[in-house]
Structure 1
Amino acid sequence: MRLLACLSLLLMCALAQPASASSLHEGWQSVDGLNIFYREGGDPKDPTVVFLHGNPLSSLMYVKVMESLATARHVHVIAMDYPSFGYSDAPAPAAYTYTFDHLAQTVDDFLKARGITRYSLYMQDYGVPVGFRLMTLHPEAIAAVMVQNGVIHLDGFPSAQDPQGELRQHWEHRNPAVDRRRAAYVRSLGYPNASHWDDEDHAGPDATLQMIAAIQRPGIIEARNDLWFNYGSNVQRYPHWQALLRRLQVPVLVLWGNRDGFFTTPGAWAYKKDAPQAEIHILDSTHFATLDAPDAVSGFVGDFLARHRPALQ
């Protein structure tokens, strides 16, 4: 009986303990008829950081960084998967127009549904054009800007610098051959294993498997091709976004994996043109630095947020 009582007491104590501060909770938020998957952690009363993921991954790329910030830095963190990415609903292109304007509107409606009106942005790759649209819609909501391997200048985008190059021409006049090539690549992707594995960007097998499963759903490569065709609208807006960043004058942090062959390090330094206050850190990492070097990213982001905390409320 004494042993049973001790065991019961231990169980009650364990149940009474609060969940680890490092844990994130996950769920789906109904947004405009879609179920948008999200990860969230920390106290909503603390300054909020909204993480906007890149292509072709999802909020999974931020888990380690988000856990670190919520645990050690007293920051409220949240990240969602865009439609057709990660665990969010994947409507067919006939039901959801896959443009960056529409993605940004969905993210904006998600934040409204979660009651988030003041936040800092952490943006990578596709997250940058989504985030700058949010900044355009609600400049008063933005407390700080953090960018990782994502551009608003052609300086760091060598494959888009030539107006006559394949990318720029595709964005001007959609090339069916580009769509077919991208679709064939997606169909060629297989289950990660020892004999079928190439991880140049160090995303890791878990994120890679989720990416493959998401993009190989019926009709989704067509949706992603629509979104890639629409990427040209972002390049057209670079001058506007540069001017917006000059006007905002908020704290700016730029982190950049120097082993990214698509968005190169001149793109990091280019932010200084419009935000002289920007802090630039070049990491010995890849396009997906939050997966390849999460401790380094967490350190830089945590220190940045701590130094600017009064401005983040």
Structure 2
Amino acid sequence: MRLFLLLLTLLASASAAAAPPPAAWPSKTFYRSIDVDGHRTFYREAGERSRPTLLLLHGYPSSSHTYRELIPLLSGHYHVIAPDYLGSGLTDHPDPTDENYTFQRLARHIAAFTDAVGLQRYSLYMQDFGAPVGFRLMQLQPERLQALVVQNANAYLDGLTPARLRFFEQAHRDASPGTLLQLHGLTSAEGVINLQYLRDVNGHPEKISPDAWQHDLRGLASQAQQLAQVQLFQDYWTNIEAYPEWQAFLRTHQPPALVLWGKHDPAFIAAGALAYRRDLPDADISLIDAGHFAVEEHAVLIAQQIVTFLGRLEQQGQLAPDSTQ
């Protein structure tokens, strides 16, 4: 009988550990703009500023719009803020013929944005292009980083197939008309809808809201807007060259990390998620039954895992609100 009761206790403990965190009513999401180095910068903000901050960095071809479902799910627990990069969404789109778009330029802009809105301490959520922006931001502001949430955001060669690696190198080194035509094709309706959002949803296109690609295509309507994104594809090889630096940053700083990865992603494959454990042996890693845009498919699941992860850090005293807020 005593053994039986012990077994029941263990099973109950395991069940409680696996249970999702309690839900919280969302707070209102505000849609704001602020001047950052002369550029109107749009951002979404929700949650009490007295709570720890989670800074959401979006990927291609989207903007903060990609987090429209996730923000309400998190805002009852945390202060959440999601900016649009230069050239994306509702932020200004400076002419790419005046100055090339690079990931270093985007990271400098987001660093200045954090100063403009007064963020001195935050956790980072990075997806896709959010990784090269986010890792550069960490290097610029290492003292501000409290924790890391990685969602299909690559920092290891393990996460790139040989074909994907060749694509990025060709985009960087080959400026021939054929390569430029291929890159511009990725900014077309066909490229955004079928080669991005619907590419890896396992035959369930109904999981992806058409609002996602309609919003993105409005941000890619002009030749200048398309050229800005093409320049970022051309610059992507500099991220691959920087992988060793980023990995060294992780080894040195050991930020608490949650790695969430849509395991059906053919662009950044699941091995890229597992590779984080080489430098962050204590990282929580979860492979999700989703594609590259996992937050479009499983926003609730992702929110549950984030709240559990950040809540544990709070209990351990590793996560605190921004003292300046």
- Do Structure 1 and Structure 2 share a fold, with TM-score over 0.5? yes
Q: SS at 1:227's partner residue?
A: helix
1:153 is the counterpart of 2:152: no
Task: Indicate conservation of the 8 Å contact 1:154/1:160, yes or no.
Answer: no
Task: Indicate conservation of the 8 Å contact 2:56/2:80, yes or no.
Answer: yes
Query: What is the CA distance between 1:136 and its match in structure 2?
Result: 0.6
Which residue does the alignment assign to 2:168?
A: 167
Q: SS at 1:311's partner residue?
A: coil
Q: Compute the TM-score of the two structures, normalised by the length of structure 1.
A: 0.86
Query: What is the CA distance between 1:181 and its match in structure 2?
Result: 2.0
Which residue does the alignment assign to 1:311?
A: 318
1:28 is the counterpart of 2:29: no
Q: SS at 1:180's partner residue?
A: helix
The aligned length equals: 286
Which residue does the alignment assign to 1:16?
A: none
> What residue ranges of structure 1 are gaps of 5+ in the alignment?
1-19
1:59 is the counterpart of 2:68: no
Which residue does the alignment assign to 1:300?
A: 305
When residues 160 and 251 of structure 1 are mapped into structure 2, their CA distance, relative to the original with a 3 A threshold, is farther
Which residue does the alignment assign to 1:89?
A: 92
Task: Please point out which of 228, 236, 245 is paired with 1:223.
Answer: 228
Query: What is the CA distance between 1:159 and its match in structure 2?
Result: 4.2
Counterpart CA distance in 2 for 1:226 and 1:311 is 38
When residues 88 and 170 of structure 1 are mapped into structure 2, their CA distance, relative to the original with a 3 A threshold, is same
Query: What is the CA distance between 1:115 and its match in structure 2?
Result: 0.3
Counterpart CA distance in 1 for 2:250 and 2:192 is 41
When residues 132 and 198 of structure 1 are mapped into structure 2, their CA distance, relative to the original with a 3 A threshold, is closer
Task: Indicate conservation of the 8 Å contact 1:186/1:216, yes or no.
Answer: no
Task: Indicate conservation of the 8 Å contact 1:145/1:253, yes or no.
Answer: yes
When residues 191 and 233 of structure 1 are mapped into structure 2, their CA distance, relative to the original with a 3 A threshold, is closer
Which residue does the alignment assign to 2:198?
A: 199
When residues 184 and 43 of structure 1 are mapped into structure 2, their CA distance, relative to the original with a 3 A threshold, is same
Q: Compute the TM-score of the two structures, normalised by the length of structure 2.
A: 0.83
When residues 183 and 254 of structure 1 are mapped into structure 2, their CA distance, relative to the original with a 3 A threshold, is same
Quote the sequence identity (%): 37
> What residue ranges of structure 2 are gaps of 5+ in the alignment?
1-24, 202-206, 321-325
Query: Hey, which bits of structure 1, 4+ residues long, moved more than 4 A?
Result: 159-162, 187-192
Task: Indicate conservation of the 8 Å contact 1:159/1:167, yes or no.
Answer: no
2:269 counterpart letter in structure 1: T
- Which sits farther off after the overlay, 174-183 or 101-110? 174-183
Q: SS at 1:186's partner residue?
A: coil
Structure 2 matches for 1:33-44, cutoff 5 A? 33-44=38-49
- 1:217-274 per-residue CA deviation (whole Å, 9 max, x = no partner) reads 2411111111111111100100010010011112100000111111110000000000
2:128 counterpart letter in structure 1: D
When residues 185 and 271 of structure 1 are mapped into structure 2, their CA distance, relative to the original with a 3 A threshold, is closer
Task: Please point out which of 54, 59, 72 is paired with 1:49.
Answer: 54
- 1:50-104 per-residue CA deviation (whole Å, 9 max, x = no partner) reads 0000110111111221211111x2x110001111211111111133430000000
Task: Indicate conservation of the 8 Å contact 1:120/1:142, yes or no.
Answer: yes
Query: What is the CA distance between 1:189 and its match in structure 2?
Result: 4.5
CA RMSD of aligned residues (A): 2.1
Q: SS at 1:37's partner residue?
A: strand
When residues 25 and 171 of structure 1 are mapped into structure 2, their CA distance, relative to the original with a 3 A threshold, is same
Task: Please point out which of 254, 258, 262 is paired with 2:259.
Answer: 254
Task: Please point out which of 205, 218, 241 is paired with 2:246.
Answer: 241
1:293 counterpart letter in structure 2: H
Counterpart CA distance in 2 for 1:120 and 1:184 is 35
Counterpart CA distance in 1 for 2:256 and 2:188 is 42
